[in-house]
Amino acid sequence: MLVDGKPYRTVWLKPDEPHIVQIIDQRKLPWKFEVVDLRTVDEVARAIKDMWVRGAGCIAATAAYGMWLASLEAMRDPDYKLATKLGARKLLQTRPTAVNLMWAIERQLAALSKARTDIQALEMTRETAESIADEDVSACRAIGEHGLTLIQSIYRGKKPGEPVNILTHCNAGWLAFVDIGSATAPIYAAKKAGIPIHVWVDETRPRNQGSRLTAWELSQEGIPHTIIPDNTGGHLMQHEKVDMVITGADRITRKGDVANKIGTYLKALAAKDNGVPFYVAAPGSTIDWEMNDGLLEVPIEQRGEEEVALIEGMTSAGKLETVRLFPQASPAANYGFDVTPARHITGIITERGVVRADEAALDRAFS
């Protein structure tokens, strides 16, 4: 997408210095747009774990490029194969919920296993990383086209000029992928098609990916939006102010249960109670064919208490400040994700079309 008129992906190889991976440091947004160089697999692992980059698709592509750096480093090691495997292990240990990370590493390891020489393996890790990034972009573009048809049918039922109101949670925008995004792709496609859109942006405590990242993205694209505290969606739905919900996903089980940012489940319940369609937008790389029951099987990341206790903001004097929100003695819990059972999901918008959240439909779409 464009930032100040210049096109960016979220992760790429530095032009003329391909041994350096470049990312956008998402911890700094919306205050500062900063590109950071990553030179080692350890630096990539830290960037994923500490959420310089985040979002399932972006994590996957960054890890795929991390494998290219692991492979470069392994060329200096007496045991190339073992060294790349250790690199893979470091990357796999960063974040547990988004299955796209494992998918990308497995794809790299499969490519490595086919190489006949270390040099060939090295080239393959670079090619595979570039393919993973390019495929992410084309999948998101296709998600946009399929999601657009849903928005168009809602728009046909509206009074002329009335916007389609879409509620989204967390950030499943281009920052969460390599480009375009999943939940935002239909929104960007609708804008291009001339359909007026208004987005309700859940703040998404504790890290505020909605108010910090999604709102920044939508502002860059000139899309009307309103930031709401996380508890507001149900009230808006009761008063017919939401036409549809679109969220992303970090892992979809084969029967269609969806793990996504904490709070997604409550939005799905409110949507069901109010007859509001609840869509999940995600590429096929988010489906974990090995898992069936999301509630029992998906590993839910728990992060540090400080993310709940501390909040960063900018003072009116333009100074960044972090403050504590509650008593030092009070403990906090920080579950990163929850699971929305398939029965609450109207459909999954994928690169293969809008698919029912059930095993037979997912199987048909992706076989």
Residue ranges for the known binding site for substrate are: 54-56, 95, 209, 260-261
Q: Is 233 in the site for ligand MRU (CB under 6 A)?
A: no
Judged by CB, which is closer to ligand MRU: 124, or 199? 199
Q: Is 308 in the site for ligand MRU (CB under 6 A)?
A: no
Taking contact as CB under 6 A, which single stretch among the options 39-47, 176-184, 238-246, 267-275 is the one that binds ligand MRU?
176-184
Taking contact as CB under 6 A, which single stretch among the options 50-58, 114-122, 129-137, 219-227 is the one that binds ligand MRU?
50-58
Cβ-proximal residues to 239 (8 Å cutoff; 6+ apart), any chain: none
**What is the DSSP-derived secondary structure letter of residue 210?**
I
Residue numbers in the known binding site are 54-56, 95, 209, 260-261
One DSSP character per residue, 169-207 reads: -S--BGGGSSSSBSSSHHHHHHHHTT--EEEEEE--TTT
Cβ-count burial 162-186 (b if 16+ within 10 Å, e if not):
eebbbbbbbbbbbbbbbbbbbbbbb
Judged by CB, which is closer to ligand MRU: 72, or 213? 213
d(Cα 314, Cα 30) in Å, to the nearest integer? 10
Residue from 179, 202, 250, 288 carrying the catalytic annotation: 250
Number of chain residues interacting with ligand MRU (CB under 6 A)? 17
Q: Which of 84, 182, 214, 340 binds ligand MRU (CB under 6 A)?
A: 182
Q: Which of 144, 210, 294, 336 binds ligand MRU (CB under 6 A)?
A: 336
Query: Least Å distance between CB 252 and ligand MRU?
Result: 10
Asked about 250 being catalytic, the answer comes back as yes
Q: Is 248 in the site for ligand MRU (CB under 6 A)?
A: yes
To the nearest 10 degrees (0 to 180), the angle between helices 56-74 and 80-92 is 160
Q: Is 347 in the site for ligand MRU (CB under 6 A)?
A: no
d(Cα 344, Cα 100) in Å, to the nearest integer? 23
Per-residue interface string for the shown chain with ligand MRU, residues 189-228, x marking contact by CB under 6 A: --------------------x-------------------
Q: Is 260 in the site for ligand MRU (CB under 6 A)?
A: yes
Q: Where are the beta strands (DSSP E) in the chain?
A: 2-3, 6-7, 11-14, 17-24, 35-38, 164-168, 197-202, 225-228, 244-247, 251-253, 258-261, 278-281, 287-288, 310-314, 320-324, 337-340, 347-350, 353-355
d(Cα 202, Cα 196) in Å, to the nearest integer? 20
Q: Is 250 in the site for ligand MRU (CB under 6 A)?
A: yes
Query: Least Å distance between CB 155 and ligand MRU?
Result: 24
Q: Which of 54, 191, 225, 267 binds ligand MRU (CB under 6 A)?
A: 54
Q: Are 135 and 244 in contact (CB under 8 A)?
A: no
User: For residue 178, which of 314, 59, 15 has the smallest C-alpha distance?
Assistant: 59
Q: Is 57 in the site for ligand MRU (CB under 6 A)?
A: yes
Judged by CB, which is closer to ligand MRU: 48, or 122? 48
Interacting residue ranges for ligand MRU, rule: CB under 6 A: 54-57, 98, 170, 172, 176-177, 182, 209, 248-250, 260-261, 336
Active site residues: 250
